[in-house]
Structure 1
Amino acid sequence: MKIIVPMAGIGSRLRPHTLTVPKPLTVIAGKPIVQRLVEDIASVIDEEIEEIAFVIGSRAKGFPADTEEKLLKIAEELGAKGSVYVQEVALGTAHAIYCAKESLSGPCVVAYADTLFKADFKLDVNADGAIWVSQVENPSAFGVVKLQEGVITDFTEKPKEFVSDLAIIGIYYFKSGEKVLKEIQHLIDNDLKENGEYQLTNVLESLKQQGAKFIPGTVNAWMDCGKKDPTVDTNKQTLSFEHEAGNNLVSEDVVLQNSEIIQPCFIGENVVLRDSKIGPYVSIGANSLVNNSTIVNSLIQTNVDISNANLDNAMIGNHAKYNGEFTSVSIGDYTELT
């Protein structure tokens, strides 16, 4: 089994946090988003992962020089071969997959690195394909699928009238990567675009017309990492899942000086907490100092210095320094508010 992860977007909606770190490498509860994504997929498909292919943007788009190294390490930790491809120009969802064409063979999962999920079903690898979906209140904002007797019969992009409330979350299983590649190649060779881009929904529709049967993969939780507030909420949900699973995410070397940690929390290595109350639902990255502060429901990265703070629904980047009385803040890397 292979996993293809298109992640070339610049993550503009999450700025300033994506000015120095690509969105999929933003750390949630101690792990990068993309690492949590591929781990969740591995648990659902219950198959050996042969290769994980990442499709990133160029350095000109803001992807740091060490991005490839970090991604290859994520693949290695899952016991898989890692491959990294570059999408120089954003030409749609199908084009992003096409950039990894050398890895697009055999059974594969395609997962766009914009979201996290939790599911307790096991994938039927004998199906032609599966599309992960989640029930939503406003289907007009999403691509949706329609079902008949457990099989997907229709794909509709952002329907103006009600068709279904099952939204496509951006994760797909294909029994044959070769067939997917052939259909994408057909789009590109014939310049078949929608709104100026090559769309995966057109590939799905063509495969369906050829007789492929797609089944839904229903998820229990669908967590967005597109903007600051949803990302903080995703951190909260992830900490809850980890806590329910009995995982302790507080490093053993945390220094507590007249301070309290209210679970669930992630506290990284070499963190010092002085005269502070931390949690619930707080992540604090390694090598950080928190002094005389109360922090709840917040996502704080590494090497951060926080003092005299009362934070709720906050997101603070790496190497930032904060001293103040604001609450719902969003501070990027290397920023100082003192």
Structure 2
Amino acid sequence: MEAVILHGGQGTRLRPLTHTGPKQLIKVAGKPVSQWVLEQIRDAGIKHVIIVLGDNIPTKVTEYYGDGSRFGVEITYVYQGKARGLADAVYKVKDVVSDKFLVYLGDNIVSYDLRRFMEFNGSASILLAKVENPNRFGVAVVENGKVVKLVEKPKEPISDLALVGVYAFTKDVFDVIEGLKPSWRGELEITDALQGLINRGKDVNYEIVEGWWKDTGTPKDILDANAFLLDKYAEKRVEGEIENSTLDGRVIVEKGAVIKNSVIRGPAYIGKGSKVINSYVGSFTSVGDNCEIIESEIEYSVLLDNVKVKGVALMDSIIGNNSIVEKGKRWQKLIIGENSSVIL
């Protein structure tokens, strides 16, 4: 059984962070979102992974994941090119999957044991979760224990059960996709493909996710995912240098990092080679690799790689790779893309 990670999409709701690369490579709790997905798939026992690439600098994805060997999997890349919908992306793997395969959106994080999901009868299986805002998602109508209808982002509420971005299919789905027409959004919708299976008398199984899940499509979603993953997986692990500093709770300090005259309150993550000097880093904060935090205070934020902050106070913020933020007296909430310089 193969697993397919969909790695396309423009990430418009995450701009400017996604102007310079795929949204799935944004780091949360020390790893890109799609790496959390990849490792979840690997830990479920699936070793052959197919990554479907979009047109937003796909070389960044191939450079990061390579052939997959350093992650304990074998990766095959398939190019979707211009985004034409999830069903179109699934169709691109027609010639490289076996009869049963898993599909996982690379910008979603679902706290669920995939080993349970991989055993299914019928032509497809989907994971669902109850939501308060179903108009943001594809939704499923379930009657008498069976999925009877699926609609993408319904304008009128028909169900509170949202598709969470994890699917399993047999090759039956390809015959349906071949006959699909673009939706009002101009895309081939995965909900229409699933509905097509139902219309042909095929069974679509489902399970409802009771635990946490997140579609990391907005800055708030990124911060929430970072907090959840830190809370769930962070442990006290110190491999860097600590000088005259306090680490309170579950704090990860990677190799080469230096913490000097500072307080770090966990759960928190400090990446390789980063420096925290005369500063405070609060709970649910992730600091990427080779960052510098000097005379600053940071709470509930994500700093990506090679970020420099000096003399600032940040909360609920995301700072893109290679960016600089300086000289802020008051608490600030910032979303800053790559290669930026901001003086407050």
Instruction: Confirm or deny a common fold (TM above 0.5).
Output: yes
* Change in CA separation of 1:150 and 1:102 when aligned onto 2, cut-off 3 Å: same
1:40 touches 1:117 (CA, 8 Å); kept in 2?
no
Superposed CA offset, 1:96-130 (max 9, x none): 11222222332211122232121257225132232
Residue 245 of structure 2: aligned partner? none
Aligned-residue offset at 1:42: 4.5
- Alignment of 1:40 onto 2:43: no
Aligned-residue offset at 1:252: 4.6
Residue 67 of structure 1: aligned partner? 61
Residue 54 of structure 2: aligned partner? 57
Identify, as 1 or 2, the structure richer in helix.
Answer: 1
**TM-score, structure 1 normalization:** 0.88
1:104 touches 1:181 (CA, 8 Å); kept in 2?
no
Partner Cα distance (1:158, 1:279) in 2? 37
**TM-score, structure 2 normalization:** 0.86
1:83 counterpart letter in structure 2: T
Higher mean alpha-carbon deviation, 4-13 vs 117-126, is at 117-126
Structure 1: gaps of 5 or more residues: none
Higher mean alpha-carbon deviation, 259-268 vs 162-171, is at 162-171
Aligned pairs (5 A) from 1:268-283: 268-283=271-286
Q: What is the aligned-residue identity percentage?
A: 30
Aligned pairs (5 A) from 1:224-303: 224-243=215-234, 249-303=252-306
Superposed CA offset, 1:27-61 (max 9, x none): 11111111112323445xx3x31421111123xxx
Higher mean alpha-carbon deviation, 248-257 vs 279-288, is at 248-257
Superposed CA offset, 1:67-98 (max 9, x none): 2232335x334433211122223222211112
Residue 153 of structure 2: aligned partner? 158
1:3 touches 1:109 (CA, 8 Å); kept in 2?
yes
Secondary structure at the counterpart of residue 102 of structure 1 = coil
Residue 80 of structure 1: aligned partner? 73
Matched residues, number = 325
2:42 touches 2:72 (CA, 8 Å); kept in 1?
no
Aligned-residue offset at 1:309: 1.1
Aligned-residue offset at 1:168: 0.8
2:292 counterpart letter in structure 1: L
Secondary structure at the counterpart of residue 3 of structure 1 = strand
Higher mean alpha-carbon deviation, 12-21 vs 158-167, is at 158-167
Residue 120 of structure 2: aligned partner? 126
2:160 counterpart letter in structure 1: D
Residue 242 of structure 2: aligned partner? none
Partner Cα distance (2:74, 2:120) in 1? 24
Structure 2: gaps of 5 or more residues: 238-249
Partner Cα distance (2:336, 2:136) in 1? 29
> Aligned to 2:168, which of 146, 167, 173?
173
Higher mean alpha-carbon deviation, 254-263 vs 152-161, is at 152-161
Partner Cα distance (2:318, 2:65) in 1? 23
1:300 touches 1:315 (CA, 8 Å); kept in 2?
yes
- Alignment of 1:139 onto 2:130: no
Secondary structure at the counterpart of residue 229 of structure 1 = helix
- Alignment of 1:96 onto 2:89: yes
Residue 198 of structure 1: aligned partner? 188
